[in-house]
Chains A and B, each alone.
Chain A
Amino acid sequence: MWMLLPQALVDGFLIGGIYITIAIGFSLAYGVMHIIDFAVGEWIMLGAFMGFYLTHWTHIEPLLFLPLVFIAFGMIGYFFQPVIHRVLSGRKGNPLLMALVFTFGLALMFRGLGLTIFGFYSRSIPSGFSADSFMLEWGPFFVTIPTIRFIGLLYALLITVCLQFLLKKTDFGLAVRALAQNKESAGLMGINANRVSSYVYGIYVGISAMSGVLIGCIFSISAQMGSNYTVFSFFVVVLAGMGYLSGVPWAAFFLGLVQSFFLIYLNPGYTLLAVFAILYIVLLISPKGLFGKGV
């Protein structure tokens, strides 16, 4: 029983890496625009299918397409943001509420489109690393790590570091943080709120879609997969504190560990329920996330 402990820990971190990739862009977009995008899972799904078809046609290693998918979906997000801005700045009713309804409608539409175009079957993106794995031995313990999942963890850490650098060290990052703090004051300081929001939305959509390709290499993809990923990115973001970017990796690793321990030591059928229970308790005790720094 104890022999599996290192494996459970490592698995938890590997799963956590995937949760980072799906939640970090979402957390960024929430921090700046204060909307919950219900379509986050659908962006992941669309990105995954773009990766699938690119690989299918060219037979090149799918991981090489990551930047291409990022750029393509970044542009889609950049040009899409004005529509959301229009809803958010509406004078009638409650704009935040309407934006939430809007993204929910969007998610439905994308899922329907995905089912129409890609069908109900699940597929997987054939990567050169899919079958590889390496093993670490240390006394009586041993750990098996699939290479592709390890690449996923590296990718997640890389994205986290890049985003932190972008936000903390560049002028653009300063503008984003100012906008997240106070939209009007940031505007008075000469920040073009619309353009910065567009960039942020583009980055978020790009990261989500890019992560979709990676998820497609690790697991299988189907047109219905979106809502599963949406719910997990919600969990991570709520645990981390809504809009608190630095909390995302820790919350993601925490959820990953919970999931891997349930898979190995307890009943896998109750994994999701355990995650729900954790979310409920955290919301009840510390609604601003594990670190109390949410918005």
Chain B
Amino acid sequence: MRFKKILFLVLLFGILLCLPLMISDAFVLRIITEVFMWIGMAITWDVMAGYTGYLNFGHGAFFGIGAYTTAILMMRGGWAFAATIPVAGLLAGIGAFLAGLPTLRLRGSYFAIATWALSLAIQQLALVLDITGGPDGMRLPPFLNPQFFYYLMLIVVGATFFLLWHLLERAPFGLKLKAIREDESGAMALGINPTKVKMQAFILSAVPAGILGGAYAFWITFIDPASVLSDIITDQAMVMAVFGGLGTLIGPVIGAILIFSFKTYFWAYLSDYQVLYLIILGAVIALTVVFLPDGLWGTISGRLEGRRALKKGLEVRPGAASRPKSGEKSHV
């Protein structure tokens, strides 16, 4: 089973690697690149929300920190783009450490408020400082190569996905996080240091967001507080993860693909009604929480698993106990 999963992922990765060779349309390539970016934002948001049970309402701040780091180092320091990316990730991680220091010891409500306040504070800081260009934003040298950005985002998001998949689904780290989510004092009794583990998870979710922000700044070539630090970035990552299904890695990916495709069509055909988009985002979150608390993927996979278990149970009862085993072998 695991072998099949790995094979599937490797195949998918291979197809995605060859995609730019088949698609010559720059517009389509650009949209796929942006989908990758949003997948990255949604899965990193889910590390805190779905796996640890702490809602981060300031995920966009780390994205913005990364974007501004790259822009400032490239424009004011004359660095090469590749050299700025690790710094962008590092600064986002330091930001997460500082934000987590007072709040991760406390209950989730404090964390939610504090991260939201952090995003507003960073926005305010970017508006008043000179080095960020204030409300005018910053311009970066244009580098017009869609293929380069496609591969850049693919590699960043792919690496993030595999890292998270390994850490959360296969390594003990994911179990620790889930233990904290289910029962923090129980986890403490098992010898887990919740604050430390939560801090690791928070930094783990912030660093890729910073790197994505840096890549985005170089890609779009213009950043200002209204674009890379606006609330809509957090909101969108949140909707994607919640709609797709919290606490899984596949869910946010599905959510990101669906919501982003919807957004693209919406803005293409209904651009006069941009405000409607906010209403739809809000409605999707609220309705998902009320009617589909496991999200799309959580509900579907739960149904499928239930049906599989039912089928197995019906098969096992009349026949010998060894039958399902042989059946499984023949599938592989």
A-side residues, CB < 8 A to B, are 30, 34, 36, 83, 86-87, 90, 92-94, 96-102, 104-113, 115-116, 227, 231, 234-235, 238, 242, 269-270, 272-273, 276, 279-280, 283-284, 287
Given contacts A86-B290, A92-B293, contact A102 B109 (CB under 8 A): no
Contact of A273 among B109, B113, B124, B276 (CB under 8 A): B124
Chain A at the B interface: mostly helix, strand, loop or mixed? helix
CA gap between A270 and B129 in the complex, in Å? 10
Can you list 23 A-B pairs, Cβ within 8 angstroms, ordered by A?
A36-B112, A93-B247, A93-B294, A97-B108, A98-B293, A100-B109, A104-B235, A105-B286, A106-B282, A111-B282, A112-B275, A112-B282, A115-B275, A115-B278, A227-B120, A234-B117, A269-B128, A276-B118, A280-B114, A283-B114, A284-B101, A287-B102, A287-B105
B291 to chain A, nearest CB (A): 10
B 275-291 binary contact with A (CB < 8 Å = 1; else 0): 11111111111100110
* CB neighbours of A99 from chain B (8 A): 289
CA gap between A185 and B53 in the complex, in Å? 27
A110 and B117 form a contact (CB under 8 A): no
- Give the residue among B108, B112, B113, B290 with the most A Cβ atoms within 10 A: B113
* CB neighbours of B103 from chain A (8 A): 283
A93 and B112 form a contact (CB under 8 A): no
Chain B interface residue count, CB cutoff 8 Å, equals 47
A272 and B124 form a contact (CB under 8 A): yes
B282 and A110 form a contact (CB under 8 A): yes
Chain B at the A interface: mostly helix, strand, loop or mixed? helix
A234 and B286 form a contact (CB under 8 A): no
B55 to chain A, nearest CB (A): 5
Number of CB contacts from chain A to chain B under 8 A: 126
* CB neighbours of A283 from chain B (8 A): 102-103, 106, 110, 114
B 284-307 binary contact with A (CB < 8 Å = 1; else 0): 111001100110000000000000
* CB neighbours of A234 from chain B (8 A): 113, 116-117
A122 to chain B, nearest CB (A): 16
Shortest Cβ-Cβ A-B pairs, 3 listed = A105-B285, A109-B282, A108-B282
A111 and B293 form a contact (CB under 8 A): no
Given contacts A100-B112, A112-B279, contact A90 B121 (CB under 8 A): no
CA gap between A99 and B276 in the complex, in Å? 23
CA gap between A26 and B119 in the complex, in Å? 21
Contact of B279 among A116, A269, A279 (CB under 8 A): A116
B167 interface contact, C-beta 8 A: no
CA gap between A96 and B279 in the complex, in Å? 23
B246 interface contact, C-beta 8 A: yes
Given contacts A115-B275, A234-B113, contact A107 B101 (CB under 8 A): no
